[in-house]
Amino acid sequence: MPDTIQLPSTVITDIDQLQAYLQVALQLEHATLPPYLTTAYSARIEANKPAIDIIRAVGKEEMLHLTLAANLLNAVGGQPNLNAPDFVPKFPAHLPTGQNDFRVGLERLSEHAIDIFLAIERPTPPETASVVQYITRTVPIAARHVDPALLKDNDPMVPITPDGENYLLHYQIATVAHADLSDRRRETSEAGVSLLPHVMAQDGPAPITLHYWSIGEFYKAIHLGFVELCHTLGEKALFTGAKKRQVGSTAYFSGGGQSMEVTGLRSALAAIDLIAGQGEGNNSSVYDKEGEIAHYYRFDQIKKRRYYRNPDEHGGDRAGDPQGGRLAVDMDQVYPIRANAKLADYAGHPELERRALLFNGQYRRFLARLTRAFNGEPELLDAKFYLEMFNIKDAMQALIRNPIPGTAENAAPTFEMDKFIDEDETSEATHGMESTTEDRLENFLQLSVQLCGITHFDLTGTGYGKDYFATVEEIVGTPLMQRLLDAFVGLPPTPAPASFQAAILNHPEFGPVARNIIKLWYTATWFQLPTTWRDNFGARARDQSHVPYPYAYAKSLLGPAVGAHPAGAKPSGHQSWALPPMPLPVPEECL
């Protein structure tokens, strides 16, 4: 960059520009959720629970950041809009990392996915980055606007020093000139698909474009914008938003932390500090002022296969050098989902296509409910809202666990918000889907459909179809399993209840096994076969009451059958006890 460049002294000059930046902040905080959740739910929980827990915990905090960004926008008279046509990016999307641009996609758990997550949460640049140009500003701030907690932070986002009875804020906002961008990031910017806004600086007679080095630098610009507009306009003129539009801690709470209302400069800066502190962290410190590990370093744990230690024990660890216990990750134990799946990938497979469209409609309703909650109806963040979040998880997992026929890949949500079916999935009967699994496994699943009254898609969507098939066959033996399946296949495609009962449930050999299959699906438990059955048909060594797969309980069918979640496995939300049970239709294929 030429030495003659005249950097701007500030970047946000009026309320309209601040509102535009905050709407972008909403979009940025949400943009990471589909990639994080898709990757987390692509992993098999038995082998990757620690990694799944880390990614989901970050996702919960991104939801908190989304809420705080909405509070910031509402505080200055804006209107959060999560249903704007371009709010959900088309994946793969583009995000900046210094001079370069990188693509954020929807993909399975892999080294590549974790590298992308690290790039998303990248800390601010080291001072040695040669192409960095800093927008430098020192701004006074009254003591009443400073949260005392910020003064205890040894490494704040914006350094603060005493100035008599008040303080000074020292801004250094890292940018990089358009000419110094990599070819890919320059092309992304010129094509207008970058999510971050740019800044204009003066280089001789012609202005040039500067780009924020990272998302953290973008938030520094918002921080500076609040402080300077408060100086020029006055706090009362800046914070004109109605208090009833704020989502406080009583209306929103999740594992990601508590929300806070933004009613003035002090709370605005505290909210920005929380968003940035939980996210990037910095190059020298792993922990925020609360002793929590920043998002970047949480993902670094997955990358390094080792935990960072608690800072209260041994003083914590240096950035990039975790010394805690081993973190088990098996990148091979994942569902082989198609990366950045599109509806077009499901052409010719009507049930997959329909489920993907239903998911998109479900996600649109979720964003619409959030938009209403952020625009004066915070009471909508109730038990039904949290139940809907769990329903979204279940719908994602059901897609991820179903193969795309004729390929070696599984399906995945597409998040194409312009392609959807806007209806409640439970309001319409569903139909079986094609399968490319082995005939005997397929026949076992079809038998389970008749036994359990659950669709083929939903049984496969639990992720335990193959496991349960293997469990039953291992216990009763292949010959008996084959005879049971042959008896079922010999029935008409839609057998009358009486004929099905006579051939399967009332059969002296098949009946107890079939009833155990029902109990296995509904309770995730194999119960020992009756004594009379063992006496007549022979005892099996593995025929003991046991739980074959500990994590299967959360996917057992008993909870959904009564309109609830498995106790202790899936919290259904605050005050969910007050909601009436949901009516559950019988799938058409089971009638």
pLDDT band per the 50, 70, 90 thresholds, residue 57: very high
| pLDDT tens, residue by residue, 538-574 | 888 889 999 988 888 888 888 888 777 777 666 555 5
Range of weakest confidence among 113-117, 186-190, 233-237, 513-517: 186-190
d(CA 247, CA 270) in angstroms, rounded, equals 15
Please give the structure tokens belonging to residue 377: 């109806």
Residue of 175 and 409 predicted with greater confidence: 409
d(CA 193, CA 216) in angstroms, rounded, equals 19
In this prediction, residue 487 carries a pLDDT of: 87
* Residue keyed to tokens 């739980």: 547
Q: Helix (H, G, I), strand (E, B), or coil: what is residue 334? A: strand
What DSSP character marks residue 380?
Answer: G
d(CA 477, CA 87) in angstroms, rounded, equals 54
Q: Which domains does the chain have, with CATH numbers?
A: 15-304 (1.20.1260.10), 339-428 (no CATH), 431-591 (no CATH)
- pLDDT surpasses 50 at 590: yes
Please give the structure tokens belonging to residue 200: 């204009």
Specify whether the CB–CB gap between 85 and 112 falls below 8 A: no
Residue of 10 and 441 predicted with greater confidence: 441
Q: Report phi then psi at 386, rounded to 5.
A: -70, -35
CB-CB neighbours of 217 under 10 Å: 25
Q: Report phi then psi at 140, rounded to 5.
A: -75, 150
What DSSP character marks residue 566?
Answer: P
Containing 352, the helix (H) or strand (E) segment is helix 350-373
**Numbers of helices and strands, H then E, in the chain:** 20, 9
Radius of gyration of the chain (CA): 28
- pLDDT surpasses 60 at 428: no
Calculate the CA 489 to chain-centre distance. 41
**Nearest by Cα to 279 from 119, 429, 406:** 119
* Residue keyed to tokens 């030429």: 2
What is the reported pTM? 0.76
* Residue keyed to tokens 């996600």: 363
In this prediction, residue 582 carries a pLDDT of: 58
Max Cα separation, the chain?
97
CA-based end-to-end distance of the chain: 72
